[in-house]
Structure 1
Amino acid sequence: MSDLSALIVGCGDVGGRLARQLLAQGWQVAGLRRSVDALPAGVRPIAADLSDRRQPQAWPERAPDYLVYCVAASQHDEAGYRAAYVEGLRHVLGWLKANDQYPRRLLFVSSSSVYAQQDGEWIAEAAATEPEGYSGKVMLEAERLALDSGIPATIVRLTGIYGPGREWLLSQVRQGYRVAEEPPLYGNRIHAEDAAGLLAHLLRADAQGVALDDCYIGVDNDPAPLAEVVAWLREYLGVTQWSDEQRVRRTGSKRCSNARARALGWAPTYPSYKEGYAAILEGRN
């Protein structure tokens, strides 16, 4: 039985999966979100709106061993991103400071949108971060806030998360939407369960005294061309028609590497889109 504790701020899909994994390992887990009714069983609820700087009534009296900041913006514009990732984190850090609480480590869940490369390059953690869009720019600002918080911090840049309930591409394929084949548009993805698994792996490693880097990319083993993924899904789903009007659209093309995370001993349960989408379509995960 572990005596370790974690506070997961933004205990939604990925955060909830992380909570269940940690609970299974004997951790004590608190989850902060607006609607605590959706928290997994066994998670201590903390109801809070991160846009409100007032400390939640259920804030823990003791500092958690680990803080995981894993929120999702409810408003998809620059103001929404800033409120969720920068101001929300600033509020949480303020609550910790006001209570003289200092976790062992902060995991801040960020995004590969901080990388603007679009010519199919391989990307590792140290690649240039020169985002053009507001999402990447705000994420970099939030990352800096985490790293400058005074708490040992590690940034986890997740790529395109998919899983049950995250099935936009499946919907596009079923409708026969097309995707350009040349030049290849490489996409990066990670199953939601593997995203949670990477976070859990980092927490366990730190608890065991392993020195963590300040950044990890969360991605599967196969940053495949989108046309290849669509072709495989069409065959799996038995889709034969093509839409004449619309295409699957995406911008940019890069290949993110998980070498650093794998060197730490982590490996995805769903190493490519094939295993991951098969599990979704078969109702397994």
Structure 2
Amino acid sequence: MSDLSALIVGCGDVGGRLAQQLLAIGWQVAGLRRSVGQLPAGVDPIAADLADACIPAAWPTRAPDYLVYCVAASQHDEAGYQAAYVDGLRNVLSWLQARGQQPRRLLFVSSSSVFAQQHGEWVDETAATEPAGYSGRIMLEAERVALASGIPASLVRLTGIYGPGREWLLSQVRQGYRVAEQPPLYGNRIHAEDAAGLLAYLLQADARGVALEDCYIGVDDAPAPLADVVAWLREYMGVTEWSDEQRVRRTGSKRCSNARAQALGWAPQYPSYKEGYAAILQGR
């Protein structure tokens, strides 16, 4: 049994998986979300709306050793992103300050949307962040809030998360989804269990005294052209029909590297889309 504790703000899909992984190694875990009835068993519930500046009634009296900010915007527009990622984080930081609590480290779960590269370039944590869209711009603003919080912080920029319940691409392939082969549209992805696993790995590394970098990219080992992914899924699922109506809407193309996380000792359970999608389709 460990005496370490983590507070996961936004304890949804990835956050809930992280909570279960930490509970399995003996950590104490509190989870903050609006609907606490959906928290995994064993997680101390904190019901709260991040848009409300008042300290939640169930806020822990003891400072958590680690804070993981892992929210998902419920409103997918500029105002929704600002409220979830910037304003919500500022509220949580103010609650900590009001209670005189100082976690050992903050993990802020960000997104590869901060990168604007779209010509198949390889991207690592040192690459330029010049997003054109509001989602990337607001995420960068939230990253700056995290790094300036006064708490040692690491950003974790996750790429296209997929897994059980996140099966949009599978649905499209079943409908005869088409994608251009040239130029290749490179996509990046990480299974939800691996996204949580990377967060758990970073927390445990920090707890062991390993010096963490201020940013990590969460991605599997094999960024791949979307046409290759679709072709593999069609063959795996036995899809033979094509639809003239289902066409790719994606424009960006980049290849994200997980070399920094790998150098720390982390490795994904699902190293490519093949292992990850096979597990989903087999009900694992």
TM bucket (normalised to shorter chain) is over 0.9
- Structure 1 stretches of 4+ moved >2 Å: none
Pairs within 5 Å for 1:34-183: 34-183=34-183
Quick one: distance in 2 between partners of 1:2 and 1:205?
14
Given that 2:156 and 2:216 are in contact with CA atoms closer than 8 Å, whether structure 1 keeps it comes out as yes
- Give the count of matched residue pairs: 284
Question: Which residue in the other structure is 1:26 paired with?
Answer: 26
Secondary structure, aligned partner of 1:109: strand
Secondary structure, aligned partner of 1:107: strand
TM-score, length-scaled by structure 1: 0.99
Shift of residue 242, structure 1, vs aligned partner: 0.3
Pairs within 5 Å for 1:237-256: 237-256=237-256
Given that 2:67 and 2:106 are in contact with CA atoms closer than 8 Å, whether structure 1 keeps it comes out as yes
Gaps of 5+ in 2: none
Quick one: distance in 2 between partners of 1:231 and 1:57?
51
Question: Which residue in the other structure is 1:274 paired with?
Answer: 274
Shift of residue 245, structure 1, vs aligned partner: 2.0
Secondary structure, aligned partner of 1:128: coil
Quick one: distance in 1 between partners of 2:267 and 2:78?
34
Question: Which residue in the other structure is 1:185 paired with?
Answer: 185
TM-score, length-scaled by structure 2: 1.00
Given that 2:175 and 2:246 are in contact with CA atoms closer than 8 Å, whether structure 1 keeps it comes out as no
The AA in structure 2 aligned to 1:30 is A
Given that 1:108 and 1:153 are in contact with CA atoms closer than 8 Å, whether structure 2 keeps it comes out as yes
Given that 1:172 and 1:248 are in contact with CA atoms closer than 8 Å, whether structure 2 keeps it comes out as no
Question: Which residue in the other structure is 1:259 paired with?
Answer: 259
Question: Which residue in the other structure is 1:223 paired with?
Answer: 223
The AA in structure 2 aligned to 1:19 is A
- 1:150-206 CA distance string (max 9 Å, x none): 000000000000000000000100000100000000000000000000000000000
Shift of residue 220, structure 1, vs aligned partner: 0.1
Quick one: distance in 1 between partners of 2:245 and 2:260?
42
Secondary structure, aligned partner of 1:278: helix
Given that 1:118 and 1:253 are in contact with CA atoms closer than 8 Å, whether structure 2 keeps it comes out as yes
- 1:243-277 CA distance string (max 9 Å, x none): 01221221210000000000000000000000000
Quick one: distance in 1 between partners of 2:91 and 2:251?
33
Secondary structure, aligned partner of 2:161: strand
Q: Percent identity among equivalent residues?
A: 85
Quick one: distance in 1 between partners of 2:232 and 2:243?
17
Superposition CA RMSD, Å: 0.4
The AA in structure 1 aligned to 2:146 is A
Shift of residue 89, structure 1, vs aligned partner: 0.2
- 1:80-133 CA distance string (max 9 Å, x none): 000000000000000000000000000000000000000000000010000000
